[in-house]
Amino acid sequence: MTAWAAVSVMASAEHLAGELSSQVIDEPFEVVWSHLGDSVQIEVRQRGVPEKTPAAPTVPVEEWGVTFAGQTRTHWVRLRLPEAGGPATGEWEIGEPSRGPLWMGFLANASDLLAGTLDPGMVPAIISQIVVPRLASWCAVYTWGDDGGPQRPAYVWHADERRIDALREELDTVRIPQAGGTLQVGDSQMLVIPLLARGRALGVMCLGRPDRFAEDAFQYAEDIGRRAALALDNARLYATQAAANRALQRSLLPPGEPGEIPGLDPAVVYEPAGETNEVGGDFYDLFAARDGAWRFAVGDVCGTGPEAAAVTGLARHTLRLLAREGYGIAAVLDRLNQAILDEGDRARFLTLLHGELVPAASGFDASLVSAGHPEALRLRPSGLVETVVTSQSLLGVFPEATFKAETVHLDPGDVLLAVTDGVTERRRDGRLLDDDGGLAKLFAECVGLSARAVAERIRRAVQDFAPDPSADDMAIVVLRAR
């Protein structure tokens, strides 16, 4: 919907949309609004419904009716815009009086719209729909890239949507002056406004109308252009930073699935908190070690942001490197603890469960070390749940800390569960999921399930425990001996 074009009939259009929607049968339907240049059409479309006589609209309209296309029934009404029949900028003419409160309000609304997105691809669309039809009959926004390719408009908009394709084809034959200016394009005069922000040329905004622009139109267009350029630059900077952040986050995840592990059924669930995060303070890993052995880790770094990410990367890469060098899991944690302390003020303490699985004649022999991490649990085929490792010192806190491995055997059918505190400390009304052994009780209900099914059941239980989205990262590692 073109916001500026339809503002004068918005209340009537919304009322009519409600009237049309109230006449549908109890099946899915869609509401479509279209700006047709001199009018606004509201449609309610529904598939597979019987023919019936609709009620007439209670609001005066230009036309209304019902059409059928295949199985789709469309009940529609058309509202004529009050400015139809006048010039394209008929909402108010460009002139000196518009420098007053009306123009300032328009600029304020435009600034709000431009500031409402950080998507570089959306900014040209918003620019175009702000200036049409207020300042021009049509608008095309070009953005300059570094590839030196042919000029192509990032977005084209016309007050009459039916003319957009023809306008785009016409613009393909025009060389746009990057420095700005005016030129004739078909039957329209085109005003080219450079989009400059922070000393850089980001593109141009091209405005067109069939008659000539007023003498002060350039000043008005420049007002919009300055705000548009800054919005576009901010969106690009945000997108660049977000892309770099995603690349960093992906580098902190394991490089890929470990593939088939003889005798072991593994599963992992990893959900960082926050909509834009791929990786949080929690991390996990599962990788091949020496002589057919496999190692795994589940950790939780204190804090968030780049400092926490640095410790995450240090921990994951140290675990793999020292395993390759043949260090036992306790020795690995000794050295990782010292490496974190060597970071000085940048250090962040972390909890970590690190283990090694060695194939045995039946099942696996597991060596485990817990550095302040939530307890690891073993589920027997009988339904018995046991804690299998004792918590020791956190990493990155005490220089003198040393670690000792504990051993446990996993028989075929045994399941080992390791989680972060995003699971155990999921909160609802002052109660935690793991209060009174809540996690162990949940785990006991997973007898006979595959590792993937166990992980998914725990994930769903964490989500269902509280209605609000989790504010903490969550990692779940399930290892089932076959």
Picking from 180, 213, 248, the residue at the C-terminal end of a domain is 248
In a domain, 90, yes or no: no
**Domain assignment present for 233:** yes
In a domain, 88, yes or no: no
Cis-peptide, bond into residue 133, ω within 30° of zero: yes
- The span from the CA of 287 to the CA of 418, in Å, is 16
Same domain, 221 and 370: no
- Indicate the residue among 46, 80, 114 that finishes a domain: 80
Q: Tens digit of pLDDT for each residue in 421-466?
A: 999 999 998 899 999 999 999 999 999 999 999 999 999 999 999 9
Task: Write the CATH number for 369.
Answer: 3.60.40.10
pLDDT of res. 94? 41
d(CA 177, CA 142): 11
Pair (324, 384) in one structural domain = yes
Identify whether residues 288 and 435 lie together within a single domain: yes
- pLDDT on residue 37: 66
Residues 282 and 338 in one domain: yes
**What is the residue range of 155's domain?**
96-248
Residue 91: inside a domain: no
Same domain, 226 and 267: no
Specify the pLDDT at position 407. Answer: 96
Confidence (pLDDT) at 6: 59
pLDDT for 419 equals 96
Contact between residue 296 and residue 366 where contact means Cβ atoms under 8 Å apart: no
Asked if residue 446 and residue 313 are part of one domain, the reply reads yes
Give pLDDT tens digits for 237-271: 998 888 887 777 777 778 777 778 999 999 999 88
Q: Are residues 379 and 329 in the same domain?
A: yes
The amino acid sitting at 134 is: R
Residues 278, 238 within the same domain: no
Q: What are the backbone angles phi and psi of residue 170, rounded to the nearest 5°? A: -65, -40
The reply to whether 85 falls in a domain is no
The residues near 11 (Cβ < 8 Å, ≥ 6 apart) are: none
* pLDDT given at position 107: 77
Distance separating alpha carbons of residues 480 and 451, to the nearest angstrom? 6
Determine the distance from the C-alpha atom of residue 287 to the mean position of all C-alpha atoms in its chain, rounded to a whole number: 30
Kindly report the CATH number assigned to the domain that includes residue 225.
3.30.450.40
Residues of the chain with pLDDT under 70: 1-8, 37, 82-103, 146-150, 274-280, 304-306
Structural domains of the chain, count: 3
Asked whether residue 310 is domain-assigned, the answer is yes
**pLDDT tens, 350-397?**
999 999 999 999 999 999 999 999 999 999 999 999 999 999 999 999
Q: pTM of the entire structure? A: 0.62
Measured distance CA(420)–CA(281) in Å, rounded: 10
Does residue 214 form part of some domain? yes
Do residue 204 and residue 260 come from a single domain?
A: no
HEC assignment per residue over the chain? CCHHHHHHHHHHHHHHHHHHHCCCCCCCCEEEEEECCCEEEEEEEEECCCCCCCCCCCCCCCEEEEEEECCEEEEEEEEECCCCCCCCCCCCCCCHHHHCHHHHHHHHHHHHHHHCCCCCCCHHHHHHHHHCCCCCCEEEEEECCCCCCCCCEEEEEECCHHHHHHHHHHHCCCCCCCCCEEEEECCEEEEEEEEEECCEEEEEEEEEECCCCCCCHHHHHHHHHHHHHHHHHHHHHHHHHHHHHHHHHHHCCCCCCCCCECCEEEEEEEECCCCCCCCCCEEEEEEECCCCCEEEEEEEECCCHHHHHHHHHHHHHHHHHHHHCCCCHHHHHHHHHHHHHCCHHHCCCEEEEEEEEEECCCCEEEEEEEECCCCCEEECCCCCEEECCCEECCECCCCCCCCCCEEEEECCCCEEEEECHHHHCCEECCEECCHHHHHHHHHHCCCCCCHHHHHHHHHHHHHHHCCCCCCCCEEEEEEEEC
Residue where one domain finishes, among candidates 50, 80, 110: 80
Contact 354, 319 (CB under 8 A): yes
405 and 270 in one domain? yes
Q: Residue 363 has what pLDDT?
A: 95
Pair (73, 159) in one structural domain: no
Distance between CA 395 and CA 350 in Å, rounded?
5
Q: Are residues 71 and 31 in the same domain?
A: yes
Tell me, yes or no, whether 236 lies in a domain. Answer: yes
